Amino acid sequence: MMMSAYSPGACDNGEQSRVLEKILKKYKGSEGALIPVLQEAQEALGYLSEETLKKIAKATGRTLAQVYGVATFYAQFRLEPIGKHLVRICHGTACHVAGADDIDAAVCGHLGLPEEGGTTGDMEFTVEKVVCVGACSLAPIMIVDGVAHGRLNPDKARSVIKSYQKSENERSGGGARSGKRAQKKK
């Protein structure tokens, strides 16, 4: 199950600009489309940088302060860069009942993050809690880089994270990487 268009590390600045321009063009002339624009920009770019907010403000005829105000009001928007791998742990009712807190503890403990999530110091992983992702029959579930991993238990969740760490190590020629230094999510 793919759930995100964001491909960490895939966009250079030029590509990011093109992606953003496409989104802004789509909503051109739509009054009140600020939230969908912010949502799509974040989905495509991973987070909303100041540069992105400035471009959105200009294109939507708002001040930077107005756009910034909306982006900071809603918890769904991220203003900080995220790690290469985005791990979303579902905390909807079904997942909560099925043990989402244990999944959180296993994943965050393995990555050396506090249980509320955040980004590892090496910028490899960002872990965040999300509301129901619409696959309750697979509870408890987490989404890693848009791919759903369901019916988890703490060991399975750790194995999933390890498989991403392993492929990273293989890509970087076997060099060990540390995800232990934590950068707390603001």
Residues in touch with ligand FES (CB under 6 A): 90, 92-95, 132-136, 139, 141
Contacts of 181 (CB under 8 A, 6+ apart): 112, 120, 121, 122
Q: Min. distance of Cβ 87 from ligand FES in angstroms?
A: 14
Residue closest to ligand FES (Cβ):
92
Nearer to ligand FES, 70 or 94 (CB): 94
Query: How far out from the chain centre does Cα 120 lie?
Result: 13
Q: How many residues does the chain have?
A: 186
Nearer to ligand FES, 94 or 182 (CB): 94
Q: Min. distance of Cβ 145 from ligand FES in angstroms?
A: 17
DSSP string, 66-132: HHHHHHHHSTT---S---SEEEEEE-SHHHHHTTHHHHHHHHHHHHT--TT-EEETTSSEEEEEES-
Q: Min. distance of Cβ 151 from ligand FES in angstroms?
A: 11
Nearer to ligand FES, 11 or 136 (CB): 136
Instruction: Work out the number of other CB atoms within 10 angstroms of the CB of residue 179.
Output: 22
Nearer to ligand FES, 117 or 179 (CB): 117
Q: Min. distance of Cβ 90 from ligand FES in angstroms?
A: 3
